[in-house]
Amino acid sequence: MAEERIVLVTGATGRQGGATLRHLAERGGFALRAMTRKPEGDAAKAVAALGAEVVRGDLDDAASLSRALTGAWGVFAVQNTWEAGVEREEQQGKRLAELARRQGVQHFVYSSVGSAHLATRIPHFDSKARVEESVRSLRFPSHVILRPVFFMDNLVSPGFLQGDALVSALSPATKLQMIASDDIGRFAAQAFAEAEKWSGSETDLAGDAVTLPEAAEAVSGFVGRKVAYRQIPMEAVRANSEDFALMLEWFERVGYSADIPALEARWGIRPLTLREWASRQRRR
């Protein structure tokens, strides 16, 4: 019975995992298990308030993963490239998938990245593509691959919002597809609630496509000050991260290609536009 199914959510105190837990809790019908490295922390306590069982687990520790996976019907799998690094993130993703398959998980939902399957030659895209291939090759009874694009939430992170400027090396004319992290949780929750329907599906997720000057205007609306876009040289980005620079250059040449209108038609979910997302932040 659906109400007896345990769903293990990794990254439970992060953006994607947290959003997935919230939307699964709203839907009901599952026993939720939230995995975190710090179950005693405030973020974990907030997760517990949703009714989730909080368990200690580390993507680098196979034994802790095995304990967290015990009895799980479903898994939401996500890893953080910028925290783990490309090579280690790939190891984490494959380790979790292999252990989940070994322990009888029936439905595996992997959050990858938009266009990972298109051989972009961006290191942290290609590593996720290899995790995707591992998930497919393990032949779970059911699996779903979600590929979110750039997070709207990143616009207000220190890497982009610096004082009164939104800073990047992208051309002011380049349109960038974006998704609200909360919307990723909406799609992930539906992938569990309608597991049979979405089994084997692979979907790129986006809610809008805007230039960064347009993004700066939207951000201005809820940070309480005028924010302008400031373009910096690509070499300044490359000095800090070759991987990040390669991604921005790919954004300029190719860019994400999620079919935004088709998402609502297929999934019955209309993701937020950037202005809608910004308006919601202002009301909080």
* Residue 62 token pair: 């196979």
> Which tens digits make up the pLDDT trace of 7-62?
999 999 999 999 999 999 999 999 999 999 998 889 899 999 999 999 999 999 99
Task: Return the pLDDT at 182.
Answer: 97
Q: Does 65 fall in a domain?
A: yes
Residue 238 belongs to a domain: no
Residue 42, domain member (yes or no):
yes
Residue 1 has pLDDT above 50, yes or no: no
Put residue 255 in one of left, alpha, beta given phi > 0 → left and psi -120 to 50 → alpha.
left
User: Can you give the pTM of this predicted structure?
Assistant: 0.95
Range(s) of the domain holding residue 106 = 2-149+180-206+257-270
What pLDDT digit, counting tens, does each position of 105-153 carry?
Answer: 999 999 999 999 999 999 999 999 999 999 999 999 999 999 999 999 9
Residue 22 pLDDT: 97
Answer whether residue 3 shows pLDDT above 70. no
- pLDDT tens column, 49-105: 999 999 999 999 999 999 999 999 999 999 999 898 999 999 999 999 999 999 999
HSE (CB half, 13 Å, CA atoms) of 82?
5
Per-residue pLDDT at 221: 85
Tally of structural domains, the chain: 1
The pLDDT, as a whole number, for residue 2 is: 44
* pLDDT grade for 222, boundaries at 50, 70 and 90: confident
pLDDT given for residue 284 in this prediction: 57
8 Å CB contact between 122 and 247: yes
Q: Is residue 218 part of a domain?
A: no
Whether residue 41 contacts residue 206, with contact meaning beta carbons closer than 8 Å, is answered with: no
283 found inside a domain: no
Q: Is residue 156 part of a domain?
A: no
**CATH code for position 64:** 3.40.50.720
**The length of the chain, given as a count of residues:** 284
Single-letter amino acid, residue 167 = V
Own/partner pairs for 160-164, CB < 8 Å, 24+ apart? 161/219, 161/223, 161/227, 164/225, 164/226, 164/227, 164/228
Average pLDDT, the chain: 95
pLDDT at position 283 over 80: no
Domain membership of residue 79 (yes or no) is yes
Is 155 within the bounds of a domain?
Answer: no
pLDDT tier at 4 (50, 70, 90 boundaries)?
Answer: confident
Relative to beta strand 228-231, strand 165-168 is: parallel
Per-residue pLDDT tens over the stretch 152-196 = 999 999 999 999 999 999 999 999 999 999 999 999 999 999 999
